[in-house]
């Protein structure tokens, strides 16, 4: 499985934008980039995913580098409810089947 690297923790202030980085230098051409987050006492929650182009949805934006070796999850206005562990995951059925290989993720703290 291609590996991702994320900072262990990040801190933000409420109502400010948050940029969560992820490095994936060994990404293959068919790897999708997925972001999930896990709030305390809950299962992981899908945030966004993409392949090559930047993606936007109601929760966040995903900015993918042109060489695809890194990506950034952007929360445009952080709220206290966004405090969670954020996971950046590569997924390619051809090499890794259906599995999502979760790493340690980034613990995001949002200050009021």
Chain contacts with another protein (rule: CB under 8 A): 32, 34, 41-46, 49, 91-93, 96-105
**Comparison of 18 and 36: residue with beta carbon closer to another protein:** 36
We find the least distance from the C-beta atom of residue 73 to another protein, in angstroms, to be: 14
**Comparison of 13 and 54: residue with beta carbon closer to another protein:** 54
We find the least distance from the C-beta atom of residue 41 to another protein, in angstroms, to be: 7
**What span, in angstroms and rounded, lies between the C-alpha atoms of 51 and 62?**
10
**CA distance readout (Å), 108 to 11, 15, 104:** 6, 14, 12
The continuous run of DSSP H or E covering 74 comes out as: strand 70-75
């Amino acid at each position: 499985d291609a590996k991702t690297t994320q900072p262990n923790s990040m801190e933000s202030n409420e109502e400010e934008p948050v940029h969560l980085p992820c490095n994936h230098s060994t990404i293959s051409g068919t790897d999708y980039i997925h972001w999930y987050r896990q709030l305390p006492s809950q299962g992981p929650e899908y945030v966004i995913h993409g392949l090559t182009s930047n993606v936007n949805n109601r929760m966040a934006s995903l900015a993918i580098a042109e060489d695809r070796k890194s990506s950034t999850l952007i929360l445009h206005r952080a709220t206290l409810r966004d405090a969670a562990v954020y996971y950046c995951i590569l997924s390619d059925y051809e090499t890794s089947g259906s599995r999502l290989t979760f790493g340690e993720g980034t613990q995001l703290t949002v200050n009021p």
